[in-house]
């Protein structure tokens, strides 16, 4: 069966179909795995040390939960592209942008994550695309977001 013909006027390199979520999956897996391992280790140690009282054991478990919570917060960033625009979820903030607000999508060598140049003259970090553990995936994701911004936004973006 032949592949479906592209829509008239559609550029095959114009990015993925919407909606799409960009997230550093490997980093997320590592962070959450380490958090669970720390919680399990501290809980096990708390239960094995017979000389500890209930409050001390609880403090071990709470410390493990605190570590897990911080690592879960660090694994939170993502970028969600939809027809209505882009939602950027960073560590503690969520911001929805209309496509027209995004002027440029940047991921230069040495950048810790994608930076979005916005129409109001500011730059917004998009921590959901970061080259830490999976550099090639981050580059592909940045190119895909750039193509989507070009397709849905006001003009071409460049590196």
Phi-psi region of 61 (alpha: psi -120 to 50; beta: other; left: phi over 0): alpha
Mean pLDDT score, 75-97: 96
Residue pair 66/73 in contact by the 8 Å Cβ criterion: no
pTM (two decimals): 0.78
Using CA atoms, how far residue 127 sits from 41, 49, 146, in Å, is 29, 40, 15
What average pLDDT is seen over the chain?
88
Asked if the model's pLDDT at residue 80 lies above 60, the reply is yes
Q: Strand pairing partners for 95?
A: 88
Distance (Å, rounded) from C-alpha 127 to C-alpha 148? 17
Distance (Å, rounded) from C-alpha 64 to C-alpha 45? 11
Write out pLDDT tens, residues 102-139: 999 999 999 999 999 999 999 999 999 998 888 899 99
Write out pLDDT tens, residues 137-148: 999 999 999 999
Q: Give the pLDDT of residue 154.
A: 59
Check residues 3 and 110 and name the one with the higher pLDDT.
110
Q: Give the pLDDT of residue 83.
A: 93
């Amino acid at each position: 069966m032949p592949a479906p013909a592209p829509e008239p006027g559609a550029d095959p390199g114009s990015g993925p179909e919407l909606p799409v979520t960009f997230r550093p999956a490997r980093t997320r897996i590592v962070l959450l795995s380490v958090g669970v391992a720390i919680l399990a280790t501290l809980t096990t140690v708390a239960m094995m040390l017979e000389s500890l009282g209930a409050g001390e054991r609880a403090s071990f478990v709470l410390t493990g939960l605190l570590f897990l919570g911080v690592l879960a917060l660090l694994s939170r960033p993502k970028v969600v592209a939809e027809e209505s625009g882009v939602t950027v979820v960073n560590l503690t903030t969520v911001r929805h942008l209309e496509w027209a607000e995004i002027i440029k999508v940047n991921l230069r060598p040495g950048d810790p994550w994608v930076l979005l140049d916005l129409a109001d003259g500011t730059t917004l970090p998009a921590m959901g695309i970061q080259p830490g553990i999976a550099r090639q995936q981050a580059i592909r994701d940045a190119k895909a977001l750039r193509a989507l911004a070009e397709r849905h936004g006001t003009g071409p973006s460049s590196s």
